[in-house]
Structure formats: C-alpha cells, structure tokens
Chain A
C-alpha cells in the first residue's frame, strides 16, 4: 500500500464528495420544497415502468441508432460500476483489487466487451451530433454535451489503458485470456520501460476523471443518470389524460395553490422533472406546435424552468429558513413567454417520447392555471369561450334548450329527471349538439345504436359541457363547477355505463370525474360500435373507399384506444395508414382549448395533418372525434385537398346499409 497515494486519494475523495454532497443536498432541498404530489400509489406498476423504460431503455430504442448508442453506454456503465471500486483500491495499492469479483475472468470479459461498447456508443453519439445533426438538438447546450461525451470516453480509454498496462506488467488478477481487448492493447506495452508509469498514470487519470465527473454531474444535464430512474418511478401509472384537481376548499390558513406563478409553486415531481431533462429534444421533434413554426418547444420549456429553479430556488430556500417571504420573479414571462404557454395543444406527444419521464403537460397546465385564475391573462378570444362555458354551460354560448335538436326525427329517447337510467347513456357532447359538421357522427351513432337495439338515451338539455376546455385552459374553478353538476345529474339518474362520440368527454368523464364522485364505465363510440360488429349485431360490408384513419390524441395517446377504430375502418373500406399513426399520431390542433384560439404564427396545424393524410392517396379521412372533424374539414377546405372527412360511425352506417342493400338484392334475385 502506498501511503502517499492513499493520502492524496483521501484528500481528493473528501473534496469531491464534499462538493458533490453539498450540491446534491441543495438539489434535494429544492425538490423537498416543492408542493405535494400524490405519486406513491400502485408500487407494482411503478416498478414495472422502471424495468421497462429505464432498464429496458424502451422509449430510447424507438429510434434505433440513438437507442442502441445510449443503451450501450447505459448498460455499459451498470456493468462497469464495480470497476470504480477496483480503481480506487488500485490507486492506493497496486496489487490489491476487489475481493472475489476482481479475480473473476467472466467479469473481466464483461468489462472488456462493455467498455468497448461504451466507446462505440460515444463515437456513434459524436457521429450523430456532428455529422447527422438532427434538428431535435436545436436549442440544446452542445458544448456541455460534447464535454460529457469526452469525459465518458476518457473514463473508458483510461480504463483500457490501465487494464492493458496491468496485463503487460503481469499484474492482472484474472486470467488474461478472459480480457481479449485489453490483452490485444497490452501487446505493444510489454517490455516497454514506461509501462509502469502508464499503469499509474492511467489509474490516477481514471479515478480523477470519475471523481471530477461525479461533481460535474450535479451541475450539468448529466444529473439525469440519478434522477431519470427516480422521475420514471414517480410518473403516472394510469389515466394519463387525468389532471390533478385543485382543492378550492382548502382550510383557512393553507393557501390554495392556483397553479404555478413562481418556482415555489412547483410540485416536487415538477422539480424532479426539470432536473431530469437531458436536452435530447425528442419531445421537440414530435410537438405539433414546434413543428409548425410556433414558439413552443417542450424541451426549451423544461430547460427554462430548470434554469429558473436553479437561479431562484436557493433564494426561496434561504428565505424559508429565515422566515421571510422570498421575492421571486413570475415564471411567465420571465422564464417562459405567454405565447409558449398558449401554443400547447396538450396532445401528449412530448410526454410519450420523453425517455426520462418528464410530464410537460402538467407544467403547462399549472402555468395556465395561474395565468387564468389569478392574473386573468390569456388570449382574448378564449375569454368568450370561458364566459360561455360558465354562463351558458357550453363553449358555443348557444341555448342549452337546443341541445337535443340534432336528434330531432331520429326517435332518440331523452332521459328526463326521475326516469330510470337506460343500459347505456349516450353522452353526446357540445360539439355534436351545436356544430353542424360535428353532429354527423352523433347522428350515425344514434342510428346504429337503434339498429342494434341498444337500450340507450341522451340527457338532452340536462347534459352540459364536461368542462374539458375550461380545465385545459387552466380555469379549474369553472371546470369543477361543471364537473360537480354533471356528476350530480349522472348519479341521480343512477347511470352506470356511458358511450360518447367525443374523446375529450370520454377522457374527462372516464378518468377525471372519479375525483368528484363520478365512477362510470365509459366507452368511446368506436369501441362500442366495434363490439357490436364483433357480436354480429351490426353487419357491415366493406366498400371501395380508400380510408386513412386519423388517431385522436385523447384516444390513441392519453387512453390507448387504437385498434377498435381501425376495426371499424377496415369494416368500411380499404385502409391505408399515415406515417404518424397510433400513439405517434399528429394532433389536429384543437386540443388544449386551442379550438377556440387562433394560430397567429407559423403554419396551421390542421393543414399540416391534412397534407399528411392527402399524401397517403386515400380519398377518405376517417375521424373519431367531433373536434378533429371540424379542424380537419377546415384544413381540407383551405388546402383544397381531395379528401372527405367522415366520422367512423358514418362510415360504418354506410357499410351496414351497403350490406343490407346487397342482401336485399340477393334475396330478390333468389325469389
């Protein structure tokens, strides 16, 4: 054992660990300062997410090359972790190593292979960043990224140098044949006079880089190696489309948290979100707003929040300690501009892509909640909608008494107060009730339900807006008023099963009303109709139409409804898929209450999607959502695309009529 080396190492260790610990404690305290969030339920599901997303690198592997690159580095580091201990021991005592593991040939082999994989990964990463130059890195700190990659390379190179020189000197504790790569590198070193110096230099370099990296970690985006696992563990395990409600009846003395105005309003989960970001830009790549020229980039949003947390968080902490109120600057417009907050369509593509489990929508909605409910600062055109939702109980501001007009002449039962509930309550939604284009789907659905002899009814004027547009805009107060009202109506009527044509109603009633005492079995009309077809209660005959189906975000991503609509499309015609389909669907542009706001910059999102649909060569664009119907139909008109936008229910009704006509011809031919 070398006492000088031991002493130096001890000093370096103490310095590194102290610096690391101080920073780590600060970051921990910042997270602890965050407001509460309920993320401790369903541990088995959380463990599963950990296994699949973190250990299995599932989200990263969706892009094959970067995925393999990162997996190589990630798994490599897991395998190489014990080599840190071995190196620390080796610094102090040239002939000592970890008991047992240090002598295992198989471990040496693993180390060799994975160290090479890590190196290959780093080289690949550089090729991607410098040669391929993907757009998702626009706005990320590339110098920091390059440095981190170089440090990783340095760790692995120094490891190889150390192992190679040890083999050359005969110091290896394991049979050298188990370390082919290091053995290969050892050949030129045998007998060279400087090999012993190389051996010492390599191990010291290795340890110093690691300890330096340990500290640098806590000041850079590489922090994700600790926090990603934590963040994924505490992510949503179910009901991705559900937002956390605000408790307005908080006791006097506890302040009600109206969303996020400053860094001190963020929840601890949101704090961890901001610290986990690796600036990879996968979220930015799939964001409909960013990709049509808007200001919003989910990546830049999280980075800006992170910067603000690190800049002002310590101020808040010290103010707390001294018992004074901190002077914190508002997040909007200092860290995040108003435009960025309102550009979001809450489609969830960013959340789905993020490999470290960041939930961007929660941040946006909390920023909106403060802007709308406290500061009353939001796009003017949305004010009309909010007022209408509050006073007229629907975002169109049309009279509730007209709500059942769409069903005139269809023989649809309207459930009056006091009457017994039907088997299935058909929740129509505001769009089909009041918009002439959106109501086609509801009309077809009603006809098909009648044809299949389903016992159903609609609430008519007693149905009011579910509150989704108000909630997505951040007006949680109005949303809760409507939610409680609707839950009251539904519970009073003892409704158990609900079918709806609108994915937003589907999401809100199915996932969010439970927080207000409303627990029902909620099914989307495509699921219900597909079931009827499977049971043979509806008999369709596919026609010649070429159909491409646009997945609604609130179905395919937030709620995993992807195949039932496709069954219907296949039953109606010849299906061809768009590139961005299923959970990778591209929003129509109406979500996040943007249906009632106008796009002022860049290209319209709906036109972008229509172009993609037209590109498949299909003549029919099938939809499963009244908002998608209106947005995409507008898009077809403004781009003069050769497409017909039709709801799946209407296509199914057409197919059922076709079959009936054919069967009638067949029987008349026979008879």
Chain B
C-alpha cells in the first residue's frame, strides 16, 4: 500500500486496506515526468508486493495512476469517496463532479484507486513510511522520459487563481469598502482559497475586474463558495452556480442568494467573518 502526493482523504481510505502505509512522493522524479513516475511506482509496487495503490485524485494523481493502470494492464477506479477491501474490492465513485455516485466492483489482483480531496471528513492515523526511491531512479528507461517538464510559466499575478481555486471567499456590497476586504482576504488565506467579488464591488473600484465572479467576470466551480454580503442577483449567480456548495453570509435573510445557498449565516459579516477566521486558527 502506498500513497502518492498524499491528500489526507486518500490516507484515510488507504489505511482500511492495511498498515503500515508506504509512500512515494510525486517530487521523486525531477523534473516531473509522468511516465517515469509511473515506472517508479510500478517497480516499487512489485518489489513491495502491495495489494493496492492509492493516490490523491488531483489532476497529477489521476494522470499517474491511469498510466500505471495502462502500463500494468489493470483496471483503475478514479475519484472514490469510499472503498472496502475484499474480492472484489467495493468502491463508491463520484460522477458529475459529485452530483451522482456510483457503486462499483473492482476486480483486479491489485486495486488502483484515487480519492478526491475535500470529499469527506478525514480521520487521523499514523503517517506513512517513505520509500527510499534512489535505487529505482537509476532503472528508469529513456522512453519514459519522453514526456517531461521542460519549463514553467508563471501565472499572471501570484496567489491562487480564481478560476481554479477550490475555495473562493467572495465579497459584495455588504463589505462596504476597499479596506473592508481585509477580513475576506484573511479567511481566504486560511482556507487556501481565492478572493472573489461581485460587479458592484468592481464598479466601485474596491477590487480589480479579475476578481469579479459573474456572467461578465469569471465563471467558477469551486468546492465551496462563501458569499459575504452578496445579494445574489441573477448575473452574479450565473458565475458561481457551478459551485459544489455555497455558504451565504448576509444581513438580509430574504436576499435571493439564500435560495441558492446550501448553508447560511444571518448577521453582520464584519463580525461573522473574523469570528470564523479566529475559530479556524484555534484548530491549527
């Protein structure tokens, strides 16, 4: 058993399949070459004779695991939010980004499974043991290095990109001013997310247009969208309706956004948002 670029969720499921867990990290091959990574994992898996391989269901995780499946002629179950060992292994997979679930059976001598981050509450446990990869690196074939990172292009403007962020904390008219966004930025930072805003805010000049979420701004589909002081006009909702979950923080319990949100807190966002940030800090 091993984990790759371990997300806490994938570790949680992997532990069910046996302990101790061994881990191989995505940074093992530098610069990153997916086929080489796959070759490395195949060798380690064979040498350790593991019954299953888990990885986080990130783009890179799924890529490498799918290659591993193709290379070793095995089936591969991606984005599993539940898995039980057995013969066959039973999994529950996400479809439609999680709007639909699939119960499936995985019939293979070795189970290849990825687990999406943010899918469920994690349980803690012993950390996996890192495998010493140095001896394997010398055995990587040149053709596995054909597809390899040759360079890197920086994103325009640092920080988490709004379109890609898994968590977006967004502010509207209720934030009140440019300075008012400090609490929004704080919460976004603590959650590893990006800051967004509504059109009213960009018109007022409190945030740049690149932060605007909406029909004429950026359309986003994060795991979680926290809308602070945003009324929820149709054009704004068009930009964030793809969000998996929406938390609305608004003083007006009748605001249209309340009908489009999964969770709501009614009250003054200037008190609520810092309180949430403080609560999160207590955890860390």
Contact = CB atoms under 8 A, between A and B. Distances in A.
A320 B200 CA distance: 54
Interface string A593-609: 00110101000000000
A600 B203 CA distance: 10
Interface in A600-648: 600, 630, 633-634, 637-638
A595 B215 CA distance: 11
A381 B215 contact: yes
Give the size category of A's interface with B. 10 to 19
Given A381-B216, A598-B215, A600-B216, A637 B259 contact: no
A634 B215 contact: no
B234 A630 contact: yes
Nearest to B199: A598
A598 B233 contact: no
B235 interface: yes
Given A436-B256, A436-B259, A634 B233 contact: yes
B10 interface: no
Contact of B231 (A384, A598, A600, A637): A637
If over half of A's interface residues share one DSSP class (helix, strand or loop), that class is named, otherwise mixed; here it is helix
A437 B216 contact: no
B233 A637 contact: yes
Contacts of B260: 436
A637 B199 CA distance: 13
B235 A435 contact: no
Nearest to A598: B216
Nearest to B259: A436
A634 B216 CA distance: 16
A280 B256 CA distance: 43
Nearest to B216: A598
Nearest to A379: B216
Nearest to B239: A381
A637 B252 CA distance: 11
Given A381-B215, A436-B256, A634 B234 contact: yes
B233 A435 contact: no
Contacts of A633: 256
Contacts of B214: 598
B227 to A, nearest CB: 14
Contacts of A595: 234
Contact of A435 (B199, B200, B231, B234): B234
Contact of A437 (B173, B199, B256): B256
A589 B61 CA distance: 48
Contacts of B200: 638
Contacts of A596: 215
Contacts of B215: 381, 596, 598
Tell me which of B199, B215, B231 has the highest count of chain A C-beta atoms within 10 A of its own C-beta. Answer: B215
Nearest to B217: A598
Interface in B210-230: 214-216
Interface in A562-597: 595-596
A486 B259 CA distance: 30
Nearest to A382: B215
Nearest to A398: B241
A598 B235 contact: yes
B233 to A, nearest CB: 5
Contacts of A384: 238
Contacts of B259: 436
Contacts of A436: 256, 259-260
A381 B199 CA distance: 15
Contacts of A637: 231, 233
A595 B238 CA distance: 12
A476 B130 CA distance: 62
Interface string B186-212: 000000000000011000000000000
Contacts of A598: 199, 214-216, 235
Interface string A422-440: 0000000000000111000
A598 B216 CA distance: 7
A595 B231 CA distance: 18
Interface of A: 381, 384, 435-437, 595-596, 598, 600, 630, 633-634, 637-638
11 contacts: A381-B215, A381-B216, A436-B259, A437-B256, A595-B234, A598-B199, A630-B234, A634-B234, A637-B231, A638-B200, A638-B233
List the 5 closest pairs (A to B, CB-CB), nearest first: A436-B259, A598-B216, A381-B215, A634-B233, A637-B231
Given A435-B234, A638-B173, 20 more contacts: A381-B215, A381-B216, A381-B238, A436-B256, A436-B260, A437-B256, A595-B234, A596-B215, A598-B199, A598-B214, A598-B215, A598-B216, A598-B235, A600-B216, A630-B234, A633-B256, A634-B234, A637-B231, A638-B200, A638-B233
